[in-house]
Every structure is written in structure tokens, then in C-alpha cells.
Amino acid sequence: MQLSIEPNNGIPIYEQLVRQIKYAVAEGILVPGQVIPSVRDMAKQLTLNPNTVQRAYFQLQNEEVLQSLRGRGVAVCEGAKKQCVADRQQILAERLAAVLDEAIRGGLDEDRLRSMFEKALKNAIRTGEKQS
């Protein structure tokens, strides 16, 4: 389980954590019942403050993705995978829509956008494969 956090990205760190854990559950990298790294471990791995991690875990508990086992750790909820797949789809669709809206309003035409998309997509796939 490897998460990539980028500070000063506009997106709060705890929010990035929430998303990436959801993605991991959606992908099956984290399976229901599995105990994930503790607040302190995760904070140490990512060189974050434990409070920031705790905030992400707390939000994921509210959304019934994680459940806390006091004294033992935090585990993935049973029915979480379906919900996480849906969440991932919605989050990314919204982000994509926001960029395209800005581009269209900024005056870029459809063809130019399509070309940019293909180029960026290939690049993303390439770098994504390098990591794995």
C-alpha cells in the first residue's frame, strides 16, 4: 500500500488521504476486514502529523469505509468496496468536468482539448506503469 501525498496541491492533505484510501479499497488493494496501518505508523510513513491522519480516518469512519477497533487498529468495513468504486467514479468525473469547463470557457476548442487529453493520458499511463 503506497500512497503519494503532495502538499501545497490545493487539495488538503487529509482529503488526499481520504481519496487514496477509497481508491485502494475500490481497487481491491485493501479488502474488507483488513487492518490498515495505525495512525502513528501512517503518519511516520508519509512524514505527516498524526492528527492529520486521524482526521482522514475519522472522515472515512463517518462514511462507513473504515471502522475503528479501539486498541487494535482501524479496519476496512464489510460493504465498503461497492461504495468506494462509486465514490471514485464521482470524484474523478467531477474533477474532470471542472477542468473541461474551465478550458471551454477559456476558449479552447473541442479538437484541441481532445488532443491535449490523448497526450496527457498516454503520459499518465506511462508514468503509472513505471511506478508499478
Partner DNA sequence: ATCGCTGTATTATCACGCTATCACACCGAC
Partner DNA sequence: GTCGGTGTGATAGCGTGATAATACAGCGAT
Region for 66 from its dihedrals, namely left if φ exceeds 0, alpha if ψ lies in -120 to 50, beta otherwise: beta
Give the three-state DSSP class for 59.
Answer: helix
> What residues between 54 and 93 interact with a copy of itself by CB under 8 A?
88, 92-93
**φ, ψ for residue 110, nearest 5 deg:** -60, -45
Candidate ranges 63-71, 90-98, 110-118, 120-128; the one touching DNA (CB under 7 A): 63-71
Q: How far is the CB of 82 from DNA (least distance, A)?
A: 23
Position 24 contacts DNA (CB under 7 A):
no
Task: Rule CB under 8 A: say whether 11 interacts with a copy of itself.
Answer: yes
Among the residue ranges 32-40, 45-53, 56-64, 96-104, the one whose residues contact a copy of itself (CB under 8 A): 96-104
In the list a copy of itself, DNA, none, the entry touching 63 (Cβ below 5 to 8 angstroms by class) is: none
- Residue 73 contact, options a copy of itself, DNA, none, Cβ 5-8 Å cut-off depending on partner type: DNA
Cell of 17: 488521504
Regarding 84 and contact with DNA (CB under 7 A), the answer is no
Cβ atoms of residues 7 and 47 within 8 Å? no
Residue 116 interacts, among DNA, a copy of itself, none and using kind-specific CB cut-offs from 5 to 8 Å, with a copy of itself
Exposure string over 36-53, b if 16+ CB within 10 A, otherwise e: bbebeebbeebebeeebb
CA distances to 93, 127, 130 from 123, in Å:
19, 6, 11
